Structure 1
């Protein structure tokens, strides 16, 4: 939306007298960032709309006179009211950043409350509001592989068991006890009684059977979890057996993934009307807002927060956002947390499209080209945590030499063809892609940048169009299962971009991994897989992001859940 008219009024408001200002076209050029000719067009347009009367100055450089039709305050109030009525959050956020007298905005509390869902001062609810910068991909557990969506699923539902990272053990959730035979091919689960779904129906083993059969019925992102389930046997409403085709000591950890939250069998799944047994129920799921409301009948401890609102704001407006708690009016110094994310950014080659990426010399050249130290220095960034594998505590700096790049390219079969680079349409990601493009240009590699949105990740036809893809991988609290799943999940890039020969080698390691009860031996297998990837330059590890989160100081008991998101079940609002 064009707010040029309001930029004009806000800029000259302090000098306005009797609805009249005097200005020069040269000044308008700097306000509107356009030519004098276009400034005149804008003024004539506003005049035709009845917003002002324009009297051009006589002679070159003389001031023109603008007389407005209405008081500025009245126009501001009318604009805010219209934006609220149209539910145009992004435009409203942008509009409120103009240098408009703040006392005018204070007087519009009623109108703003309609949009932001403020409760009046009489409200007894604890409501936390935050933002998301994109549309959701999907909340269907069968297909959701993006961290935020999986995090939301974990708020709406509960799996049979859950993984405790601190204790490195499985704990009860829907099931209160379980057992397996010695070969780990038969697992028996005993289900809590009285668990209610959000529609207040009672959870039984029929719902567990339905949930797992959903995963078995279609090819999906988590087929690797259920592919070895032979059958299920319902001994009663509260006892169920799983018979596996082969032994799997990690079966409990596989099914502790949030996506295996139990769904009611009597309701067809609808991600807009998500019904689970979780601590929060889905109150609203629209393109503009996602609202979670505490489920009063939750079988474990009810959340202290009554409601959590995720309001969608486009990237271009993010820097304009001020964060508040509901009913909080004072400006308070926000608290910030900063930690290294258990994840990494990487570049993966598409071995299905371009013959050149199958050239080991060319991949080695790209490895030396993608030098994180040079990138950080050139982009004037701080606090590089260079990645040489999945986990930052195992990563170390690796030697790269820009001088080797040209030599390796000459030894490769590269003939100057243009290669396509795909990158997320996010500010820092674009900076890194542009740096990579410039670095490639210096050594004669022709690159073409294509930006994509995360909400199109599943539909983007990378296999047909991309040569390189920049992306990130984030671990859940169960680092080993996340590592395993990152290579087994068909929706993720490794399974989509690597050749069957590469995946066959990795799968042979993963088969050993799955059978191994020893944490130390699984760690050794992880190292062997990473060594193979680095030796062949199949994936180029880049860096471990440093994640910063901002909190109001009244928010208490901040703990982090799977994927590094705040555990909403434990948050509460206290006094500063």
Structure 2
């Protein structure tokens, strides 16, 4: 296979045969943003946190339950308001300090005392007490069965309390530690002192390359690319793509008939064929609850006329990467067939997080990469203000969604909680505040020498399981 010189030129480090290191080379189409748990908002960075840090407990996807991790046991009192976690002894941070209850309290209070996107996760926590170095008590203002889901989220990885958090001096407890970080490269090294099973791979080197290079090869065990015959690994449950309307803009977007016209105009199956995209049509955040929705091209022109659209140019925003740009241009072209005019604005990841950018948006195409814990993913999706579509809802819709999410989190019955999920999604789509487009099917081209490749959360590979035969 003719691999890009771009990839070969980056790989200046070969396997160190004297140390018998097994090294993986991973390629990504953008640079890594913040790895601060308070500011992580993208799938790749959230995925990396799972290797650098550990949480008190973990979600068991297969059995839909929570299992001990840094905490070896946990319980709740009869009031349901005091949760006690008993910590393992001998768990080390990467800086070789022991993990104690003080570090857990520091991590939680760091969320409480900082006003970023995730402060809502700890709004129910009154205080954290440390009666013993290996015992921590979390006091709630009311019982909350959702607490365990919060604490299992990758962003709740425990950080050391005796050092100020520093992006380039990352210290957690995870199976990998940061060995090197530059603008184009991140090197993770296996943690020999990890309290659980050590990774089988010794080192992972992530490189920022072009999108074309990533298409050719995502993961390699060799520096010499010329002999590699990749295998294709598909990930089907990685997230969802959606289109959202800015209901705070005083223009044609306020007309529901116009939004309905856009809904019928956005024929996902036609786009998939035109752009040669592999996907599953969506009607929900959850691929298992999604189904195709009927659309009628015959109604589009009538709906546009009923809306009173006068030919104004609308601002369609999307993320600044190839697939999103192609989708934006496709929608622009389809809309133009019906006399609807759009400008497409591909926007960088940092710009999406800036306050005020939503004032210029009429429509937004964006994707969400989701955790395997579908109930946590649902709460995450609609409460996290770093997800731009949440900032486009009208006040009325935002208040209803937040009220429903609060009921959802306090509901201990799984069936009733699922009913609330359905209610929120159906409400948003009936109001045409937004609609789901599709679930992407991600294909990773992997070196066939790499063994035990398993899908992980957020559309990535589980690097703790893979290994390379000698």
Q: TM-score range by the shorter chain?
A: over 0.9
* Equivalent residue in structure 2 for 1:539, among 415, 434, 443: 434
* Post-superposition CA distance 1:511-537 (Å, at most 9, x none): 221112222221111111111011111
Residues 511 and 324 of structure 1, relative CA distance in 2, 3 Å threshold = closer
Query: For 1:181-260, what aligned pairs fall within 5 Å after superposition?
Result: 181-260=77-156
**1:347 aligned partner:** 243
Deviates more, 1:223-232 or 1:310-319: 310-319
**2:259 aligned partner:** 363
Separation in 2 of the partners of 1:330 and 1:123?
A: 24
1:521 aligns with 2:434: no
* Post-superposition CA distance 1:276-328 (Å, at most 9, x none): 01111111121110111011111111111110110011336545668631466
* Post-superposition CA distance 1:208-236 (Å, at most 9, x none): 11111110011122112101110111111
> Greater relative contact order: 1 or 2 (C-alpha under 8 angstroms, separation 6 or more)?
2
1:493 aligns with 2:388: yes
Separation in 1 of the partners of 2:150 and 2:320?
A: 32
Query: For 1:17-28, what aligned pairs fall within 5 Å after superposition?
Result: none
Tell me which structure has the larger Cα radius of gyration.
Answer: 1
TM-score with structure 1 setting the length: 0.78
* Equivalent residue in structure 2 for 1:276, among 166, 172, 178: 172
Give unmatched runs, 5+ long, in structure 2: none
Give unmatched runs, 5+ long, in structure 1: 1-89, 97-111
Residues 249 and 323 of structure 1, relative CA distance in 2, 3 Å threshold = closer
* Equivalent residue in structure 2 for 1:308, among 204, 209, 213: 204
Contact 2:27 2:218 in 1 (8 A): no
Contact 1:135 1:455 in 2 (8 A): no
Separation in 2 of the partners of 1:567 and 1:358?
A: 44
Separation in 2 of the partners of 1:311 and 1:161?
A: 31
* Alpha-carbon shift at residue 494 of structure 1 (Å): 3.3
Deviates more, 1:213-222 or 1:546-555: 546-555
SS in structure 2 opposite 1:162? strand
RMSD, aligned α-carbons: 2.1
Residues 460 and 242 of structure 1, relative CA distance in 2, 3 Å threshold = closer
1:480 aligns with 2:393: no
Residues 322 and 518 of structure 1, relative CA distance in 2, 3 Å threshold = closer
* Post-superposition CA distance 1:393-430 (Å, at most 9, x none): 21111111122111111111422211111122222222
* Equivalent residue in structure 1 for 2:454, among 530, 540, 559: 559
Residues 338 and 256 of structure 1, relative CA distance in 2, 3 Å threshold = same
**2:6 aligned partner:** 93
**1:407 aligned partner:** 302
TM-score with structure 2 setting the length: 0.94
